């Protein structure tokens, strides 16, 4: 009987997560600053000449089928031969796929970012972008279990659940937009050959401007617009090899909101050679982040010659920790950044 009760409780938790997810909250990564186009379409070209990211998150394995999220992003500045140009265009592409729970309730979305950044002076830029795209939602109702399929002693999948089973997939148009300000004390003209960085960025973005319909059962439910405020920077610590890399993220989407903040500590391991070019810069980052009323995140990032590998783990602190045993999710990220030749503001590494 105890095992039966445990299974019923587990089913209730899984169904609760499915219902909660149906209220249309977007996916999010703990390494949010390594998925820049997800937080703001204006991040296309804002910091690097070229940037590519692959993100993967696996969470809540202890309470059933894990939630798995995969994303890919790429953005680049459009080369401009005029080094004194007052601004530059940038393009980006962002794709993500998310599968949730036993029903494999999934979201797949692809977006294109079109950005323009105005050069206010050698150290500051102000950019704006739009982000049109499409998303598809899908669900496998056959993977769900219902209380009406319990015959009093055992679960019997052959019993008709009596539940509605609406459309299993739908596709909608979506639109986002954003603005971002960046500051770079070097004007972006150097690689990380010396530890004297002082860089900042801050932005605001809006997603789901079209508030598309978002229901498998044609109930008229619409996807809430999401408002995002974010920022970050790199602050070198004097004549040391250390730098602080704080960042934060806030969003509000309908009744849901999230505040996420923390910092990484960067330690330079090797520097680029200023003369031969044979040595490539490398650094390691250690970080601690807090997602209010939800989780504490431990982060580690290794960077070498424009490549970066990040890993993080969420320790759950919300009321869900009773079911998760405080185990949240593992997240991995692979990033490549490089510069655009003859393009002011480009650099191999900012953070």
| Contact call for residues 233 and 246 (beta carbons, < 8 A) | yes
For 101, which DSSP code? T
pLDDT, one tens digit per residue, over 101-127 is 666 778 899 999 999 999 999 899 999
Residue 349 counted as domain residue: no
Q: Structurally, how many domains does the chain consist of?
A: 1
pLDDT, one tens digit per residue, over 285-315 is 999 999 988 889 999 999 998 999 999 999 8
Between CA 285 and CA 293, with CA 290 as vertex, the angle to 5 degrees is 165
pLDDT, one tens digit per residue, over 178-213 is 999 999 987 654 344 457 789 999 999 999 999 998
Q: Which two tokens stand for residue 330?
A: 């593992």
pLDDT, one tens digit per residue, over 325-335 is 555 689 999 99
Residue 288 counted as domain residue: yes
3-state SS, residue 3: helix
Residue 212 counted as domain residue: yes
Residue 350 counted as domain residue: no
Distance CA 282, CA 263 (A): 19
Q: Which two tokens stand for residue 224?
A: 């809430």
Residue 113 counted as domain residue: yes
Q: Which domain holds residue 164?
A: 2-338
Q: What pairs with residue 298 in β-bridges?
A: 288, 313
Residue 300 counted as domain residue: yes
Confidence class of residue 347 from pLDDT cuts 50, 70 and 90?
very low
Residue 206 counted as domain residue: yes
Residue 150 counted as domain residue: yes
Q: Which CATH number characterizes residue 126's domain? A: 2.40.160.40
CA 178 to each of CA 55, 114, 156, 277: distance values in angstroms, whole numbers, following the listed order: 22, 10, 50, 37
């Amino acid at each position: 009987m105890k095992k039966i009760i445990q299974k019923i409780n587990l089913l209730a938790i899984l169904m609760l997560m499915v219902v909660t997810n149906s209220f249309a909250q977007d996916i999010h990564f703990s390494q949010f600053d390594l998925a820049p186009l997800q937080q703001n379409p204006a991040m296309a070209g804002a910091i690097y000449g070229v940037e590519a990211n692959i993100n993967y998150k696996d969470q809540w394995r202890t309470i059933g089928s894990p939630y798995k999220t995969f994303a890919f992003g790429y953005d680049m500045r459009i080369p401009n031969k005029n080094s004194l140009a007052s601004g530059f265009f940038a393009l980006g592409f962002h794709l993500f796929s998310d599968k949730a729970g036993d029903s494999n309730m999934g979201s797949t979305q692809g977006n294109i970012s079109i950005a323009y950044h105005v050069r206010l002076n050698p150290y500051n830029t102000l950019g704006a972008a739009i982000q049109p795209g499409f998303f598809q939602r899908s669900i496998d109702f056959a993977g769900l279990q219902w209380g009406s399929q319990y015959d009093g002693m055992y679960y019997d999948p052959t019993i008709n659940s009596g539940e509605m089973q609406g459309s299993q997939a739908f596709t909608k148009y979506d639109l986002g937009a954003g603005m971002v300000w960046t500051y770079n004390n070097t004007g972006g003209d150097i690689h990380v050959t010396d530890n004297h960085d002082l860089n900042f960025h801050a932005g605001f973005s809006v997603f789901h401007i079209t508030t598309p319909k978002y229901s498998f059962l044609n109930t008229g439910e619409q996807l809430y617009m999401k408002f995002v405020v974010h920022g970050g920077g790199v602050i070198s610590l004097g004549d040391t090899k250390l730098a602080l890399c704080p960042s934060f993220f806030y969003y509000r989407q309908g009744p849901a909101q999230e505040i996420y903040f923390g910092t990484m500590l960067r330690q330079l391991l090797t520097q680029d050679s200023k003369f031969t070019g044979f040595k490539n810069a490398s650094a390691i980052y250690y970080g601690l982040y807090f997602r209010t009323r939800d989780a504490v995140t431990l982060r580690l990032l290794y960077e070498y010659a424009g490549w970066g590998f990040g890993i993080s783990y969420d320790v759950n602190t919300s009321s869900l920790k009773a079911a998760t045993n405080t185990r949240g999710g593992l997240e991995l990220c692979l990033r490549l950044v490089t510069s655009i030749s003859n393009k002011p503001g480009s650099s191999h590494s900012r953070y």
